[in-house]
Structure 1
């Protein structure tokens, strides 16, 4: 009897030992499974976001040759004032409407290296009713056909009655109707050199910045979208 009891106890001990060993053996397997599932469900490592490069700082503060210094300083002040609205500060255009339409008064200026290009540009018929070749007055009134004074932001391109053109957004109270008035940059035959040679002055626009047809692409290439045009008579 004692022998049987001892044998039974021994068998119970072996079973208990086996169960303990089995449970110990199961734990690493569950841990591995949990780790595998966790590895599958875990999000991928974050991807580094490229840091945008800062806009070039305006380096040129002296008026290029052919641009009146006082007007150039006014344009830079306008660029500083509208800094947040103007995306790019590396190049600007200045329309000097104190000069006659027979003069290359539309200046494309690189503010990083100081280079510039000047070309003819027409003013609005409402700004020169007698067609003298000189801008007499500015106006922001709809249907005035006049040129407006102030800073403009170059916007998107479209194709209209003058071919490829660029919309402008007026940034000042003196030209904030520009978009509604459809004041744009476009090419026109009456702003070509041939018209100047024939009449001694350019034709007139309806308030738009009309440049010679052969010069239009150069304007688009220099300005693009998000840059400033400054128009004034000072």
Structure 2
């Protein structure tokens, strides 16, 4: 693509980048959210600059960004995405610094024992279901319990995950979420519904995202997508 030698290099780079972003947006999976095109172009730029485009579908990232605008967070520049469309033997937890446009962490995360074996299939907001919950959460305070250094989570979506704190759904480290367990079993172990992280990295992640950042847990679950106020159509 040749913009001509008479254009300064920064101008040529800007034009080329703009065209690339538009093309990437046009070929992306269909997105039914309400965000305008200009916002999507900003999101797409962040998506590419963080390197997230190599690991996560843009549609999931855009959904996370859509929800990030709906609630107040004291740390709005930090976003954690858990992609339960992927099996547990893949790294499916991403921690982003949106201000610096940096992918801080990409690691493994376990799901609930009654949510599925290798893949996360069933989700719940019910106490003692031992299932994971989907949707948007705000990170809370830390504490030290039987699982060590842990992070409380507050579910933000009514009837979807708003009982997270009552259920004791927290982020913590666990041996069954680590590489050794994975190498031995071909998948991660399962929790009682908590998003459990590898014990070698969980404390660093918790310290970074605690007290007011956004966590988005996603799966291609029609029940969630149709009932979430972030994504459900106005007609129902």
- Contact kept? 1:60, 1:113, Cα under 8 Å: no
**2:109 aligned with 1:127, yes or no?**
no
Distance in 2, Cα, partners of 1:118 & 1:230 = 14
Tell me whether 1:211 sits opposite 2:197 in the alignment. yes
Deviation at 1:126?
1.5
Please state whether the residue corresponding to 2:144 is helix, strand or coil.
strand
Given the alignment of the two structures, is residue 108 of structure 1 paired with residue 95 of structure 2, yes or no?
yes
Q: Indicate whether 1:76 and 2:65 are aligned.
A: yes
Equivalent residue, structure 1, for 2:151 = 166
* Consecutive unaligned residues in structure 2, runs of 5 or more: 1-40, 221-236
Residue 145 of structure 1 is matched in structure 2 by: 130
Q: Which residue of 1 aligns with 2:215?
A: 229
Cα distance in 1 between the residues matched to 2:42 and 2:106: 17
Once the two structures are superposed, residues 131-185 of structure 1 have per-residue CA deviations (whole angstroms, 9 ceiling, x without a partner) of 2x10011111111000001101100111111011010000002100000000000
> TM-score, structure 1 length as denominator?
0.71
| TM-score, normalisation: structure 2 | 0.70
Displacement of 1:60 in angstroms is 5.7
* Matching residue of 1:10: none
RMSD of aligned alpha carbons: 1.3
Structure 1: segments with no counterpart, 5+ residues:
1-58
Q: Within 1, Cα distance between the matches of 2:192 and 2:57?
A: 26
Measure how far apart 1:224 and its partner are. 2.3
Distance (whole Å) between structure 1 residues aligned to residue 205 and residue 194 of structure 2: 14
What is the number of residues matched between the two proteins? 171
**Contact 1:60 / 1:114 at 8 angstroms: preserved in 2?**
no
Larger radius of gyration: 1
- Deviation of 1:221 after TM superposition, in Å, equals 3.1
Match of 1:189 among 153, 169, 175: 175
Shift in Å at residue 217 of structure 1? Answer: 1.9
Question: Where does residue 118 of structure 1 map in the other structure?
Answer: 106
Q: Report the equivalent of 1:67.
A: 56
Alpha-carbon separation, structure 2, partners of 1:113 and 1:120 = 23
Contact 2:109 2:196 in 1 (8 A): yes
How far apart are 1:112 and its partner, in Å? 1.4
